[in-house]
Chain A
Amino acid sequence: MDLKRITSPLSPDVTRELSIGDMVSLSGRIVTGRDQVHKYLASGGIPPIDLQGLVIYHCGPVVIEEDGQWRITAAGPTTSMREEPYEADIIERFRPGAIMGKGGMGEKTRAAFKAHGAIYLHAIGGAAQYLAGRITRVEAVYLQEFGQPESLWVLSVQDLPALVTMDSQGESLHRDIQERSLERLHALFERSFTKNQAT
């Protein structure tokens, strides 16, 4: 599969060129943020670093401290949909270049991606060792009062693979697949289980 190399922070020129179905290889500086960070930012909290152009990664890593250094033992994406109530507002106020997680996001966020030229990157859920291997350094950690998995970690990544599943044109692979699977579900509902059983 053709791989497009991109570097965070991302400029709108780069994100606007990407479409759903594009496989990217992500490098550069990214920040993690999950439930508590989103709630904090949406209720008026000040981001500890400038988020403009950065990739916000929905991820709660496993981290241990060794000799004053942070070591990530596992890191993969968490379900993004939980941040749906907050994300559009966060995109509008802080202008990140992309949101990365798993499972995609809903209509409000899709509209925000379109309005501000941002995109959604889908990373592979559960591939914790493969993805942790793409993190080259822990640069900093903020908001530690939210607990280790929920803190805001600033990470350097190199060649992290992800799929563009929502783009700045307002397209969403998740919406397409959901619509198609609903049609198939209704077709299955036409069948009967008990009529096919030997009596």
Chain B
Amino acid sequence: MDSIRVHKSMYELIRRTCTELPADILKAMNHAHHDELPGSIAQETLGIILESASLSHEKALPLCQDTGALLAIIQSRPGKGLFIVEEAIVEAVKGLTREGILRQNCVDPLTERNTGDNTGAHVPQVHFEPAGGPVRVSVMLKGGGSENMSTQYSLPSALIAAGRDLDGVRRCILDSVYQAQGQGCSPGILGVCIGGDRASGYLLAKRQLFRHLEDVNPVPVLASMEETILQEANGLGLGPMGLGGRTTLLGCKIGTAGRHPASYFVTVSYSCWATRRYCVELDGKGGIRKWI
């Protein structure tokens, strides 16, 4: 792989992620705008959001001032190329921060100093995943407000009378939407992991957010639950930004992971309407072959 080409590709991938709402989410937001009561606060709010998203695309400027924390997943055969991609991601992050496309979002928790360039201990977060086929790089910029609304339940939970079964899982997911109110910037998208451990649950829940909204879960019972949660959560009446209305969620994506017999975790990764994620496939030299 040619490092200059890889650098250009990673720069373009992160720049686009920060400034352009993915097409599936834009479509869902347009539907939501259409579905809200004419003249309502909900419709006005969605109208301003759509206008803002269109401006950010046009001007190539951040969709949201919270340009989030970067999560990157590189899927590739093991080899030297991985390090070239990782280095290109870090350099692109620094460059885009200097240009005012990414906000300075990394604070050292001991000194309370902002590092100023979006790098620090374990930041940005880059994961390698061995895989065959061409190199794929997925990037997500997730805002702090929505990350703060993400949560994990350990079943059974007496608080919401949730047992260790799918009815209990459903209670957890609905409760998480209620708890978030408008604070995660609704209408939101949920990534959910049933099972796993404390750590894998959060990562797998977040990875569900890479699925496009129109993607139907291949597991029928999960597909049914995704649809049920979407309808029921929208009946809570929280609406855009929690100011009331019909649209509280744009989607719910659920995956599973094997669990220890003693543990039954339900992890919900809450993402705002401005869910920013893209995935690219690279050619042999490191250029972008296609957007996925």
Could you tell me which A residues sit within 8 Å of B by CB distance? Answer: 1, 21, 23, 36, 59-64, 71, 73-76, 78-79, 81, 102-104, 122, 124-133, 146-150, 161, 163, 165, 173-174, 177-178, 180-182, 184-185, 188-189, 192-194, 196-197
What are the residues of chain A within 8 A of B274 when measuring CB–CB? 126
- Asked if B232 contacts A128 (CB within 8 A), the reply is no
- Asked if A148 contacts B52 (CB within 8 A), the reply is no
**With contacts A62-B103, A147-B107, A193-B170 known, is A76 near B64, CB below 8 A?**
yes
- Asked if B61 contacts A129 (CB within 8 A), the reply is yes
Find the residue from B66, B171, B236 having the highest chain A CB count within 10 A: B66
- Asked if A126 contacts B104 (CB within 8 A), the reply is no
Distance in Å: Cβ of B278 to nearest Cβ of chain A: 17
Give 22 CB contacts A-B under 8 Å.
A1-B44, A21-B41, A73-B62, A74-B65, A74-B67, A76-B65, A78-B66, A102-B182, A103-B145, A103-B242, A122-B243, A124-B52, A125-B64, A125-B182, A128-B62, A130-B49, A131-B52, A148-B116, A163-B243, A182-B178, A188-B235, A194-B165
Distance in Å: Cβ of B62 to nearest Cβ of chain A: 4
What are the residues of chain B within 8 A of A75 when measuring CB–CB? 65
- Asked if A125 contacts B241 (CB within 8 A), the reply is yes
**With contacts A1-B44, A63-B100, A193-B225 known, is A130 near B242, CB below 8 A?**
no
Instruction: A78 to B65: give the CA distance in the assembly, Å.
Output: 9
The count of residues in chain B whose C-beta lies closer than 8 Å to any C-beta of chain A is 68
Decide if B185 is an interface residue (CB 8 Å cutoff). Answer: yes
What are the residues of chain A within 8 A of B116 when measuring CB–CB? 147-148
B97-121 at interface with A (beta carbon < 8 Å)? 98-105, 107, 112-114, 116
**With contacts A147-B113, A189-B161 known, is A128 near B52, CB below 8 A?**
yes
**With contacts A147-B107, A184-B235 known, is A174 near B174, CB below 8 A?**
no
- Asked if B64 contacts A126 (CB within 8 A), the reply is yes
- Asked if A184 contacts B52 (CB within 8 A), the reply is no
- Asked if B114 contacts A149 (CB within 8 A), the reply is yes
- Asked if B61 contacts A74 (CB within 8 A), the reply is yes
- Asked if B39 contacts A1 (CB within 8 A), the reply is yes
Instruction: A67 to B108: give the CA distance in the assembly, Å.
Output: 29
- Asked if B237 contacts A181 (CB within 8 A), the reply is yes
What are the residues of chain B within 8 A of A73 when measuring CB–CB? 61-62, 100-101
Task: Please give 18 more A-B residue pairs, beta carbons under 8 A apart, in addition to A64-B100, A125-B64.
Answer: A23-B44, A62-B65, A73-B100, A102-B182, A102-B241, A103-B242, A126-B63, A128-B61, A128-B64, A128-B65, A129-B52, A129-B53, A129-B63, A130-B55, A131-B52, A148-B114, A181-B181, A194-B167
Instruction: A61 to B105: give the CA distance in the assembly, Å.
Output: 11
Q: Majority SS of interface residues in chain A?
A: mixed
Instruction: A102 to B48: give the CA distance in the assembly, Å.
Output: 15
Decide if B157 is an interface residue (CB 8 Å cutoff). Answer: no
Distance in Å: Cβ of A3 to nearest Cβ of chain B: 10
- Asked if A61 contacts B237 (CB within 8 A), the reply is no
Decide if B200 is an interface residue (CB 8 Å cutoff). Answer: no
Closest residue to A195 on the B side, CB-wise?
Answer: B167
Instruction: A179 to B83: give the CA distance in the assembly, Å.
Output: 51
- Asked if B166 contacts A194 (CB within 8 A), the reply is yes
Closest residue to B186 on the A side, CB-wise?
Answer: A125
Distance in Å: Cβ of A58 to nearest Cβ of chain B: 11
**Chain B 186-227 interface mask (CB, 8 Å, partner A; 1/0):** 000000000000000000000000000000000001001100
What are the residues of chain B within 8 A of A79 when measuring CB–CB? 145, 148, 183
What 9 A-B pairs have minimum CB-CB distances, sorted nearest first? A147-B114, A64-B100, A130-B52, A127-B52, A129-B55, A74-B65, A74-B62, A103-B183, A125-B185
- Asked if B166 contacts A193 (CB within 8 A), the reply is yes
Decide if B59 is an interface residue (CB 8 Å cutoff). Answer: yes
Instruction: A108 to B55: give the CA distance in the assembly, Å.
Output: 37
